[in-house]
Amino acid sequence: MTASMLRPIASRLPYDKGGVWVARVLVEVAMRMCDRRSRGTTVTVVSNDGVVGEWVDATRSGFPDESASGGADGVVLYLHGSAYAICSARTHRGLASRL
């Protein structure tokens, strides 16, 4: 989708605040349409010494990563590249919920 739809549009946008805003809206709409969160996912915003992040918990009962106590055996640390110049944590929650 990115190569066929978003890239041709984004390449024609001006490199100013207005162009960045339009690109962000386009990417967010595309990500929401194609990248929905897994059912039952919870999101908790966390902050420590000025560093903000999110816990995206998509643990579901019966999955192989569940321990005998009912909790997840581990976690996945997902670091998004590009410093969220266009996207945001919100646009990537669906992806994170499926990792």
Convert the pLDDT of each residue in 38-67 to its tens digit: 778 888 999 999 888 888 888 765 555 555
State residue 70's pLDDT score: 58
State residue 47's pLDDT score: 92
pLDDT > 70: percent of the chain: 72
State residue 19's pLDDT score: 82
State residue 85's pLDDT score: 67
Per-residue pLDDT of 23-37, as tens digits, reads 778 877 777 776 677
- Average predicted confidence (pLDDT) for the chain: 75
- How far apart are alpha carbons 36 and 31 in whole angstroms? 8
pTM of the full structure? 0.57
- 3-state percent breakdown (helix, strand, coil) of the chain, nearest 5: 40, 15, 45
